[in-house]
Amino acid sequence: MGLRIARVQLDPHSDIGARDVAAVTREVDWLGATGDERIFHPLCGPGTYASVIRRSSGCRWYVGHDINASAVRWGRQRNPDRDYVFRTARFGVGTRVPRHDLALLSYEAVNVFAPDELPTILAALADGLAPGGRLFIDVRTPDDPGVPIGVRRSEHVPAGTGIFSTAEHDLDYATQLDCDGRLLVQRFRLRFGHRDEEFFSWLWLYEPDELVALGRAAGLWPSATAHLHPRSVQNTNGANGSVQMLFERSGAAAPRGVPC
Ligand SMILES: C[S@@+](CC[C@H](N)C(=O)[O-])C[C@H]1O[C@@H](n2cnc3c(N)ncnc32)[C@H](O)[C@@H]1O
């Protein structure tokens, strides 16, 4: 399945599973890197960000982590330079963060972490950032989760074309928000005729103000906010509702703790 997900992520014109190349280019341009940064990119996907950085500003080095070994293989293949390193690794609470100048929490990466673990994640990234270093966050917000909420019409998936299975099946896709509108759950039900299989994924939708407060608590100061991506029409899992934020590591670490 990892291989099939990575193939979907590689589509340069789709936002399904990974940002499309035009969106990545807009984000990298907005970051205005000097080329001297050491870049840490947890949840890096199949190396699209690295490719765009390599062809624009460049960097001192880039380290990407992804839990999907197929995405990591693509990342290496697309970025064969010695200074671009990809690791199959789960990023989370307790992961060792290398000393770096720019951290990328790109497409949905911050939304993967629940509010009980995000403060620890931000603190670890802040600890790894050199003074004056920057953290980029692309966040999905409660205003517009980026996917239509409800049940979508069943889709027939011919053999060899599905993401979750190579066998022929029907795919029922549904999304739901919790009563506070903060937890987005996606359900993928595969119907094979004699049996069904279900997969769920979830994203926590954060308000930009909440991220500002969590960032400050970790010693990260907000320096810019943007809406870089126009509403996406070519697929349902588009760029709608996402906000891009940039934080700077202050010289002295602020006291830790979740602000009220
Ligand atoms: C929505 S995709 C975005 C990828 C990348 N930001 C892009 O747009 O090209 C999220 C990626 O994070 C990976 N992932 C999810 N949870 C992870 C974790 N805890 N640690 C490392 N990788 C993870 C997935 O395998 C997937 O490739």
pLDDT in tens, 65-87: 999 999 999 999 999 999 999 99
Question: Distance (Å, rounded) from C-alpha 119 to C-alpha 218?
Answer: 7
Nearest CA to ligand 1 atom 12: 43
CA of 252 to the centre of ligand 1 (A): 31
pLDDT exceeds 50 at position 254:
no
Q: How confident is the model at residue 253 (pLDDT cuts 50, 70, 90)?
A: very low
Question: What is the crossing angle of helices 21-31 and 48-55, to 10°?
Answer: 50
The pick from 66, 90, 139, 204 for probing ligand 1's pocket by mutation, whose C-beta has the most ligand atoms within 8 angstroms, reads: 66
What pLDDT does 238 receive? 59
What pLDDT does 190 receive? 95
Given the CA of residue 89, which atom of ligand 1 is nearest to it? Answer: 21
Given the CA of residue 2, which atom of ligand 1 is nearest to it? Answer: 25
What pLDDT does 256 receive? 46
Q: How does pLDDT run across 139-195, given as a tens digit for each residue?
A: 999 988 888 889 988 999 999 888 888 899 999 999 999 999 999 999 999 999 899
What pLDDT does 258 receive? 39
Beta carbon of 242 within 6 Å of any ligand 1 atom = no
Q: Write the DSSP string, the chain.
A: -HHHHHHHHT-TT--SSS--HHHHHHHHHHHT--S--EEEEES-TTSHHHHHHHHTT--SEEEEEES-HHHHHHHHHH--STTEEEEE---STTPPPPPEEEEEE-TTTGGGS-TTTHHHHHHHHHHHEEEEEEEEEEEEBTTB-SS--EEPPPEEE-TT--SS-SS-EEEEEEEEE-TTS-EEEEEEEEE-SS-EEEEEEEEE---HHHHHHHHHHTTEEEEEEE---PPP-SSSS-STTEEEEEEEE-SSPPPPS---
Beta carbon of 67 within 6 Å of any ligand 1 atom = yes
Q: Share the mean pLDDT of the chain.
A: 91
pLDDT exceeds 90 at position 230:
no
For range 48-60, the mean pLDDT: 97
Beta carbon of 92 within 6 Å of any ligand 1 atom = yes
What pLDDT does 232 receive? 56
Question: Distance (Å, rounded) from C-alpha 153 to C-alpha 80?
Answer: 42
pTM equals 0.91
For range 48-64, the mean pLDDT: 97
Contact 170, 195 (CB under 8 A): no
What percentage of the chain carries pLDDT values higher than 70?
92
Beta carbon of 65 within 6 Å of any ligand 1 atom = yes
Nearest CA to ligand 1 atom 27: 45
Contact 50, 27 (CB under 8 A): no
What pLDDT does 259 receive? 38
For range 23-32, the mean pLDDT: 96
Question: Distance (Å, rounded) from C-alpha 17 to C-alpha 85?
Answer: 21
- Comparison of pLDDT for 240 and 204, the residue scoring more: 204
Beta carbon of 123 within 6 Å of any ligand 1 atom = no
pLDDT exceeds 60 at position 234:
no
